[in-house]
Structure 1
Amino acid sequence: MVLLWGLLVLSLSCLRGPCSVFSPVGAMEPLGQQLMSGQTQEKLPPLFLLKLGKQQELGGKTAWKKAPGDCKEAPTPEQTHRLAQAMMAFTTDLFSLVAQNSTRPNLILSPLSVALALSHLALGAQNQTLQRLQQVLHADSGPCLPHLLSRLCQDLGPGAFRLAARMYLQKGFPIKEDFMEQSEQLFGAKPVSLTGRKEDDLANINQWVKEATEGKIEDFLSDLSDGTVLLLLNAIHFQGFWRSKFDPNLTQRDTFHLDEQFTVPVDMMQARSYPLRWFLLEQPEIQVAHFPFKNNMSFVVIVPTHFEWNVSQVLANLSWDILHQPLLRERPTKVQLPRLHLKYQLDLEATLSQLGLQELFQAPDLSGISDESLVVSSVQHQSTLELSEAGVEAAAATSTAMSRMSLSAFSVNRPFLFLILEDTMSLPLFVGSVRNPNPGAQPERKEQQDSPDNRDSFQNEKSFSLEDKPFGPDLKLAPPLEEDYPQPSSPK
């Protein structure tokens, strides 16, 4: 079973001094009357439609206007295809920068959560600010991105995927009714008024976060800036049950290879005959496996054959067309996969600025939210992952650079990347990397040094015989099994 939580909080402040005070009648409920325990478990409000995009010339400048009516129809297959490709491109951009700037051994974040927050902000963005948001989200040709994301979130694995959102406002902040109404209608973000008492506001916000994440994320915010006038929050929950579960009795202590010289012990889940869809990409040399969940979701593991790799190089060669290979059939495979418990929190201001959104933190045009001059003061994100054996039993690319291998084992015993994907369109929900699944353990020096160039280095893995070696660094390229498995088609 896999449990994942993604949380994002976007804070806005007035650019020049205190904001004006205005209280729209009936606009907000007091903080003390917001939905608390029990009620947060109710069915989330549906997400409806949104349009970004129509432009008209005003005084020689290009002004962008929203036309919600233009996006009321269900997305076409072509729109869905473009959205999935855009989300994969955004995931690559975002996670590559996060990995580049992080010193942590393990990372996880939800690009979908970040994209939803930026789309929410786009409801009130105008002119160049809106254009930059669309460009960073790779939505230049898809002006209905928020509508599409909203619509698709409704259809993502009923029962396995949940989205919660909320909007906190400074008491009396003059927010525009159109933004407030669309926020609740499209994203389910109920507006709630802050009390102005920092300790009470922090306690209540953290209480909502705790309940929205079913206790997985506590004390998320430790401070609330005096200038904060608006908080946009969203929380994503994914609970994936394996279509074919791992037997806990087979889980045992085993070796995870950190690099050429050191290892750490890990709890390694195992299966003798696991229905797995996997392939080798030759440039860069990586192994990709799809571990299926129920509800058309997969845990996709990407294992570089060499130890020396970086996230951006790997993801740059993992396009949507490569990951989306529905013709590759499952094959009974001997599997090793480490149990995981990951937690990662970060401030995304530097990353989003590097992506080209520095204007958000300086002088954005957010006049669709309020007539006040607003600036984004903070973007906080946290994700957690728990990966274990539990599950529900069930019956069982580009050009020529991909092939099926005549091997029968897949061992995740070295650093790897992973994605949580929706299978029908390969939409990324979460992305992460694991370089040390047991960071609290003292690394042990290998008796015999392994080298990425020595492909026979792992032949003596204790859990596998020599004739059935792990699908790991001792991998030998072999002809594809053409009779049993159709080959990936080249993207058009």
Structure 2
Amino acid sequence: SEEEGEDEDQSCDITWKNSQRLADGLMKFSIDLLIEVQQESKRNNVILSPLSIALSLSNLALGAANQTEKRLLEVMHLESVPCLHHMLLSLRRRLAEATLSIASRVYVQKEFEVKEKFLEDSEEFYGTKPATLSGNNEDDIMAINKWVKEATNGQIPAFLQQLPGDTVMLLLNAIHFHGFWRNKFDANFTAPDIFHLDDRFVVLVEMMKAQKYTLSWFTLESQDIQVARFPFKGNISFVVIVPKQYSWNTPHVLENFPYRQLCRLFPREVPTTVKIPKIKLDYQLELNNVLSKLGLEELFTSPDLRNIADEHLFVSSIQHQSTLELNEDGVEASAATGVVVSRSLSTFSLDRPFLFIIFEEEMGIPLFIGSVQNPKPSAAPQMKEPQDLPDAADNNEYPMPK
């Protein structure tokens, strides 16, 4: 209500406890999303930005009332975050300094008269006014794509290919991230190497390598996984979760992953022999189906959006796109590395399907979550040679970090 909103302004301190609630909620939402999307996408690489999806849905929540608003917040696990819109505004400001471009916007068909308060609040908290759809499909697609291209600094040039003719309301969010490693990889050592797709097939990929990469990583024996943190510049890190076997139960790992204790679990960094594939991920999907399964079916049929417009409004489509590039780029050149393999060095190889989460470190906010099944989908899989099979040698176990 209006009064609550005014009270909120007075008491919206961004405390550590509130930040934790936001980070926790977004982490749970990330895991729910990835589990659902992976079931739909089968063996494809997936990258999602739970943060950019949450920004879209929270913007919508500004205009929702009663059960619809309550359900939106519950599905994102953010119902217990006080001053949610203020919190997300401060997070957006903080992330503006990162190498991250986020585009998030609500589009409404022109015959609906959008309420002034919703327009003002959207601009204040989410940095963008809802825009109007003209009803001419081609013009609307061009206008949307132009806006996304500008908002993502040209990184997502053609967001939408088509738009259903009867679109009443569209939520879109697009996000691009180019991470610059704190310790960069020397491109001279990048070379084709084997990536295990599963127990039987491998594919040749461009593998970045380093001999004495300072890396913090640990083994979680209870789940038979290894977890490493590769820092990017600017308070963002790339956390990877790799199975010790070639095949694994992703939902089980995600649901039991101790993300709250991550900071405590990471040991000090040690010089490590590292192999990590070059990756360019680009994933686009309509989220209607996934969000319906998580409990938001009503959004697409008969939601209560009375704070957006007086007429009966519903969401026609929620479109999401994430792109991510991982190559040798770093910020600082690392010291010259000798190519002497020392037996005492620990070894960390991303040479099999893995999960990743990109965190904003200060608050522990997940910016991206995804899974890489095959870093080079265009390459033809090959049957493993006998020496590559796991039972031929125990070479799919790693030495423990000292």
Instruction: Say whether 1:125 aligns with 2:48.
Output: no
Name the CA distance, whole Å, in 2 between partners of 1:143 and 1:379: 26
- Structure 1's 395 and 202: CA in aligned 2 closer, same or farther, altered over 3 A? closer
Within the alignment, does 1:474 sit opposite 2:397 as a pair? yes
Q: What is the match of residue 70 of structure 1?
A: 8
Match of 2:123 in 1: 184
Shift of 1:157: 6.4
Residues 455/293 of structure 1: CA separation in 2 closer, same or farther (3 Å cut): farther
Matched with 1:357 is 296
Q: 2-side partners of 1:362 and 1:65: how far apart?
A: 30
C-alpha displacement at 1:198, in angstroms? 2.0
| Correspondence for 2:155 | 216
One-letter amino acid of the structure 2 residue matched with residue 426 of structure 1? G
Deviation, structure 1 residue 228 = 2.5
| Cα-to-partner distance string for 1:258-278 (whole Å, 9 max, x where unaligned) | 111111101000111111111
Corresponding residue of 1:464: none
In structure 1, the residue matched to 2:341 is: none
Which residue of the partner structure matches residue 314 of structure 2? 375
- Residues 243-258 of structure 1 aligned to structure 2 (within 5 Å): 243-258=182-197
CA contact 1:255–1:264 (8 Å) conserved in 2: yes
Report the 3-state secondary structure (helix = DSSP H, G, I; strand = E; otherwise coil) of the residue aligned with 1:190.
coil
Counterpart of 2:249, as a letter, is N
Q: Quote the residue 2:340 is aligned against.
A: none
Amino acid at match of 1:474: E
1:225 corresponds to which residue? 164
Aligned-pair CA distance for 1:129: 0.9
Contact 1:262 1:443 in 2 (8 A): yes
Tell me which stretches of 4 or more aligned residues in structure 1 moved more than 6 Å.
none
Cα 1:128–1:451, aligned 2, differ >3 Å: closer, same or farther? Answer: farther
Matches within 5 A, 1:9-408: 67-71=5-9, 73-156=12-95, 158-325=97-264, 328-393=267-332, 408=346
Residues 407, 313 of structure 1: CA spacing in aligned structure 2 closer, same or farther, 3 A cutoff?
farther
**Which residue of 336, 339, 355 corresponds with 1:417?**
355
Q: What's the secondary structure of 2:204's corresponding residue?
A: strand
- Give the distance between the partners of 1:395 and 1:79, measured in 2 at CA: 38
2:304 & 2:108 partners in 1: Cα distance? 19
Larger displacement relative to structure 2 (335-344 or 98-107):
98-107
Change (3 A) 1:280 1:374: same
CA distance in 2, matches of 1:416, 1:230: 36
Q: 2:379 aligns with which of 441, 456, 474?
A: 441
Change (3 A) 1:157 1:191: closer
TM-score normalised according to structure 1 size: 0.75
Query: Are 2:176 and 2:322, in contact at CA under 8 Å, matched by a contact in 1?
Result: no
Distance, in Å, in 1 between the alignment partners of 2:381 and 2:166 is 46
Q: What secondary structure sits across from 2:81 in the alignment?
A: coil
SS of residue matched to 1:150: helix
Number of aligned residues? 393
SS in 2 for 1:206: helix
Superimposed CA distance per residue, residues 339-396 of structure 1 (whole angstroms, 9 cap, x where no aligned partner): 0011111111111111111111121111111111111111111111211001112789
1:197-253 CA deviation, whole Å, 9 max, x = no partner?
221121111121222223332332222333323333333333321111000011011
Query: 1:82 aligns to what SS in structure 2?
Result: helix
Change (3 A) 1:227 1:143: farther
Once residues 185 and 159 of structure 1 are traced to their aligned partners in structure 2, the CA distance between those partners, rounded to angstroms, is 21
Q: What CA distance in whole angstroms lies between the structure 2 residues aligned with 1:326 and 1:260?
A: 29
- Aligned with 1:133: secondary structure? helix
CA deviations over 1:399-437 (Å, ceiling 9, x no partner): xxxxxxx86111111110111111123210011111111
- 1:224 aligned partner, one-letter code: L
Counterparts of 2:100 and 2:158 in 1: how far apart (Å)? 23
In structure 2, distance between residues paired with 1:87 and 1:174: 32
Identify which range, 360-369 or 241-250, moves more after superposition: 360-369
Determine the C-alpha separation between the residues in 2 that align with 1:248 and 1:394.
Answer: 11
**What SS does the corresponding residue of 1:220 show, helix, strand or coil?**
coil
Does structure 1 conserve the Cα–Cα contact (< 8 Å) formed by 2:179 and 2:325? no
TM-score, normalising length: structure 2: 0.91
Q: CA shift at 1:131, angstroms?
A: 1.1
Structure 2 CA distance for aligned equivalents of residues 376 and 455 of structure 1:
54
Is the contact made by 1:128 and 1:365 (CA closer than 8 Å) also made in structure 2?
A: yes
Query: Deviation string for 1:108-136 (max 9, x for gaps)?
Result: 11110111111011001111111111111
Deviation at 1:456, TM superposition (A): 3.6
Indicate the SS of the match to 1:265.
strand
Q: Relative to structure 2, which stretch is displaced further, 190-199 or 141-150?
A: 190-199
Distance 1:74 1:456, change over 3 A: farther
Work out which of the two has the higher radius of gyration on C-alpha atoms and give 1 or 2.
Answer: 1
Residues 74-132 of structure 1: CA distance to partner in whole angstroms, max 9, x if unpaired?
Answer: 31000001111111111111111111121242111111011111101100111111111
Aligned to 1:3: none
- Per-residue displacement from partner, 1:122-179 (whole Å, max 9, x unpaired)? 0011111111111111123214223212211211261423433344333342111111
Q: Per residue, is there more helix in 1 or in 2?
A: 2
Distance 1:377 1:196, change over 3 A: closer
> C-alpha root-mean-square deviation of aligned residues, in Å?
2.3
Letter in 2 for 1:325: R
Which segments of 5 or more consecutive residues in structure 1 lack a partner in the other structure?
A: 1-53, 55-63, 397-405, 459-472, 482-492
C-alpha separation in 1, matches of 2:61 and 2:184: 41
Q: Deviations over 1:430-458 (max 9, x none)?
A: 11111111111111111217566x49442
